[in-house]
């Protein structure tokens, strides 16, 4: 599975837009990009998944450039409750099973 | 994390005892995964099961650890003769299918195992 690199931590303030970038230089043709969110004492929660270009849902947007070697999770107007660890995962979710490989993630701290 | 139920949420055991962790997947899901998480680290895959079958146990230690997902009832992760190094949060996840592009895993809130 493709290795991912993302910042260890980020700080933001309420109401700001937060962009977390993930590098995955060795992404394969059939790999999807998925982001999970984890709050303390809880299991990870699926946020968004994409293959190319842009994906948007009610929670976030995911931007993927043409070469797919990186992706950016965008959280609009964060609140204190968005303080969590965000994981970027890359894997061949088509045809294979979901053997998710988690890195250390990005710890986002949102301040008042 | 509605849907995947894990119990107990916290489990304390003394060295040498057995720990049994239970996981009830989302209703209708037949694929279950177990992960272990140490403090300040990401989750590490342990085992993937379908009903009555272990599909991939490559992340599970060969000794003392076992997992099952019977036809009826929850999935069980069993750790025999626990040691201090087994202290961690154990998460269970389930999915509807084996892993197509639109089949994210749904996680429970974990069991925090503490070994005295």
Name the 3-class secondary structure at B84. helix
CA A27 – CA A50 distance, rounded (Å)? 13
For residue B8, cis peptide bond before it (omega within 30 degrees of 0): yes
**Tens digit of pLDDT for each residue in A23-56?**
999 888 888 899 999 998 899 999 999 999 999 9
**Tens digit of pLDDT for each residue in A9-19?**
999 999 999 99
Q: Which residues of B touch A43 (CB under 8 A)?
A: 1, 4, 91, 93, 107-110
Q: Which residues of A touch B44 (CB under 8 A)?
A: 102
Nearest one of B108, B24, B20 to B72, comparing CA atoms: B24
Q: Which residues of A touch B42 (CB under 8 A)?
A: 87, 102-105
CB proximity list for B110: less than 8 A, separation 6 or greater:
A41, A42, A43, B6, B9, B37, B89, B90, B91, B92
Name the 3-class secondary structure at A80. helix
In percent, the amount of chain A with pLDDT more than 90 equals 71
CA B45 – CA B30 distance, rounded (Å)? 18
pLDDT confidence of A93, banded at 50, 70, 90? low
10-residue stretch averages of pLDDT, chain B, 116 residues long: 87 98 93 91 90 90 95 95 96 78 80 96
Asked if A81 contacts A108 with a C-beta cutoff of 8 angstroms, the reply is no
Nearest one of A5, A12, A8, A7 to A75, comparing CA atoms: A12
B61 to chain A, closest Cα gap in Å: 16
Pairing of strands B43-50, A32-38: unpaired
Q: Is the pLDDT of residue A62 over 50?
A: yes
């Amino acid at each position: 599975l493709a290795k991912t690199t993302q910042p260890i931590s980020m700080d933001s303030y309420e109401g700001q837009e937060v962009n977390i970038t993930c590098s995955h230089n060795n992404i394969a043709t059939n790999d999807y990009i998925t982001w999970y969110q984890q709050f303390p004492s809880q299991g990870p929660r699926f946020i968004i998944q994409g293959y190319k270009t842009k994906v948007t849902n009610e929670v976030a947007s995911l931007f993927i450039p043409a070469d797919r070697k990186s992706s950016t999770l965008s959280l609009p107007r964060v609140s204190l409750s968005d303080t969590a660890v965000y994981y970027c995962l890359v894997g061949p979710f088509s045809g294979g099973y979901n053997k998710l490989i988690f890195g250390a993630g990005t710890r986002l701290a949102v301040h008042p | 994390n509605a849907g995947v139920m894990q119990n107990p949420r916290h489990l304390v055991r003394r060295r040498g005892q057995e720990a049994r962790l239970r996981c009830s997947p989302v209703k209708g899901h037949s694929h279950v995964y177990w992960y272990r998480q140490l403090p300040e680290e990401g989750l590490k895959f342990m085992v993937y099961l379908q009903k009555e079958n272990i599909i991939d146990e490559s992340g599970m230690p060969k000794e003392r650890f076992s997992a099952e997902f019977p036809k009826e009832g929850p999935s069980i992760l069993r750790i025999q003769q626990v040691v201090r190094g087994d202290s961690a949060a154990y998460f269970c996840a389930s999915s509807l299918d084996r892993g197509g592009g639109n089949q994210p895993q749904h996680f429970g809130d974990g069991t925090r195992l503490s070994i005295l």
